[in-house]
Chains A and B, each alone.
Chain A
Amino acid sequence: MASLSGLTDQQAKEFHEQFKVTYTAFVGLAALAHLFVIAANPWW
């Protein structure tokens, strides 16, 4: 049965693996940026 998006289970799982990697990198960079701001100019 075709999915709503047209992706197969295998394609969805494969894409999700890359999505998790990229999203983790994004969160890591954002955390680093926040640490720099905390070091330079804490907001509390």
Chain B
Amino acid sequence: MSNVAKPRNPEDDWKIWLVVNPATWLMPIFYALLVLAIAVHAVVFSVGLGWQ
């Protein structure tokens, strides 16, 4: 396992799409981002930093 080529980022970032097919996973990624954003807003509001 040690002689696997290490990626150089950001220039090799695009290679993620050789593993993850965006036709399948772009929307799930967006929904995960939405869930994360809602969660962060919920925490921010629950600790009293929202507008009251």
Contact = CB atoms under 8 A, between A and B. Distances in A.
Interface in B4-52: 13-22, 49, 51
Size band of the interface chain A makes with B: 10 to 19
Interface string A1-26: 00111110101110110010000000
A16 B21 contact: no
A19 B17 CA distance: 10
Contacts of A5: 17-22
13 contacts: A3-B19, A4-B18, A4-B19, A5-B22, A6-B21, A7-B18, A7-B21, A12-B14, A12-B15, A15-B14, A16-B16, A19-B22, A43-B49
